[in-house]
Amino acid sequence: MPDVEIRGAYKKFGSNVVLNGIDLDIQQGELLTLLGPSGCGKTTTLNVIAGFLDIDQGEVYIKGKKMNKVPPYKRDLGMVFQTYSLFPHMTVYENLNFGLSLHKVEKAERKRRIAYAMELVKMVGLEGRYPREMSGGQRQRVAIARALVVQPKLLLLDEPLSNLDAKLRHELRIEIKRLQKELGVTTIFVTHDQEEALSLSDRIVVMNKGNIEQIGTPGEIYQHPKTEFVFHFIGKSTRMDGVVKSIDRQSIQVQTQTGLQVSADPNNIMGEDRRLQAGDEVKLYIRPEKISLHMAADQPSLDNAHKGMITQMNYLGSAWEVEVSLSGEAIQSLCPAVNPAWSVGSEVYAGWQSPDMMLIKK
Ligand SMILES: Nc1ncnc2c1ncn2[C@@H]1O[C@H](COP(=O)(O)OP(=O)(O)OP(=O)(O)O)[C@@H](O)[C@H]1O
Ligand SMILES: [Mg+2]
């Protein structure tokens, strides 16, 4: 039985449909992320699970029990809100103690649990501080400790890292993952950061305008996006437009607007209508890291290789971002290393494999 089940959740604010009948199962011990652009309904979904918001239609179950109309404090969960949620007039210790006293936990046990939670988030020694006397990262750690200290069955984290700088985000992300696995607590993590979702999650739910576009493991979402929206939301890509010349079970031959002949894989058609035939106009997408650059045309292992010219080179430290023009088609490539002789104007061959290209009917 799933830990959390959402069935046909529908929610309207005025005439604005914010959840359009979503279905979702969350398994015991799983770390599930809700990923999507601003306003797609992530916080609303979390609030519905937490019980801060009623749905107009549908059901929510936690551990098999129907939760509609059950107040938040009876749902046995810990939550970190999108905006800072510590009580400003309480010390760190008092912030952690607050929930425990509501739950009528006995004093010695409270002390023990607070000490343990402070250790988990590496904040031992700062118990006497007020929120204003701490950095953003420290406050977020305390907020996480406060959610954990009540030993919830379910942990709900709404963009807990969004106000932090890149380095601290990365550090805390790793810590949240470690903590979550150590405690085995079922967790729903909200983010609009694709890298965060890919690195943290057991499964990702991609949301768009109150609908679920796709649910899958990070690998499934990245390698096999079902819709154009999911493909664009996760990762970068180059787009080419073309016309299907021929199609069979093994391959699709497409001619691009600029005259390139490319071959694609029939398993990689996205969208609702996946039946293609010769003459159909399509959009082709390929991710930069799938395009390799070579000195010679002769690349027997690649089923697409085209001569081009480098039009831009950007050094990123761990890789190079290279733009190549293939008979007028601007292609982005991400290479771990480049030939030292290459510069803007150099002639190169860009290659990729058919299964690395996604296509969708126009
Ligand atoms: N109390 C409310 N009254 C009216 N509209 C609301 C209310 N709460 C949210 N909305 C609307 O519902 C939609 C979804 O909001 P929600 O907060 O779930 O988005 P989100 O995915 O969490 O976005 P963000 O990434 O910006 O936090 C938005 O269009 C928002 O304006
Ligand atoms: Mg939100």
Look at the domain 238-361 and name its fold. Answer: OB fold (Dihydrolipoamide Acetyltransferase, E2P) (2.40.50)
Q: Is the dihedral of CA 276, 278, 284, 290 positive or negative?
A: positive
Q: What is the mean pLDDT of the chain?
A: 92
Q: What are phi and psi of 205, to 5 degrees?
A: -110, 115
Look at the domain 4-232 and name its fold. Answer: Rossmann fold (3.40.50)
Position 73 confidence tier, pLDDT thresholds 50, 70, 90: confident
**What is the share, in percent, of the chain residues with pLDDT greater than 70?**
99
Distance 321 CA to ligand 1 centre (A): 36
* Amino acid at position 27, single letter: Q
Which pTM was predicted?
0.88
**What is the share, in percent, of the chain residues with pLDDT greater than 90?**
75
Distance 341 CA to ligand 2 centre (A): 48
Position 167 confidence tier, pLDDT thresholds 50, 70, 90: confident
The predicted model gives 275-301 an average pLDDT of 89
Six token digits for residue 226: 């079902």
Distance 72 CA to ligand 1 centre (A): 19
Task: Supply the pLDDT for residue 38.
Answer: 94
CATH 3.40.50.300 region(s) of the chain?
4-232
CATH 2.40.50.100 region(s) of the chain?
238-361
For the Cβ of 306 lying below 6 angstroms from any atom of ligand 1, the answer is no
- Whether the Cβ atoms of residue 186 and residue 61 lie closer than 8 Å to each other: no
Q: Which residue's CA is minimally distant from atom 18 of ligand 1?
A: 41
Helices (H), the chain: 42-50, 92-102, 107-120, 136-148, 166-183, 194-200, 218-223, 228-233
Position 151 confidence tier, pLDDT thresholds 50, 70, 90: confident
In ligand 1, which atom is closest to the CA atom of 34? 21
Residue 172 confidence (pLDDT) above 90 = no
Residue in the block written with tokens 């380095």: 167
Residue 280 confidence (pLDDT) above 90 = yes
Using DSSP, state whether 24 is helix, strand or coil.
Answer: strand
pLDDT, one tens digit per residue, over 105-135 is 899 999 999 999 999 888 999 999 999 999 8
pLDDT, one tens digit per residue, over 177-194 is 988 998 899 999 999 899
Q: Which residues lie across from 35 on neighbouring strands? A: 191, 206
Distance CA 204, CA 42 (A): 12
Of 65-79, 116-130, 255-269, 293-307, least confident by mean pLDDT is: 293-307
Task: Supply the pLDDT for residue 307.
Answer: 93
Six token digits for residue 138: 């420290």
From the number of C-beta atoms within 10 Å of its C-beta (0-12, 13-18, 19+), residue 297 rates as exposed
* Amino acid at position 325, single letter: S
Residue in the block written with tokens 């069979």: 248
Distance 39 CA to ligand 2 centre (A): 7
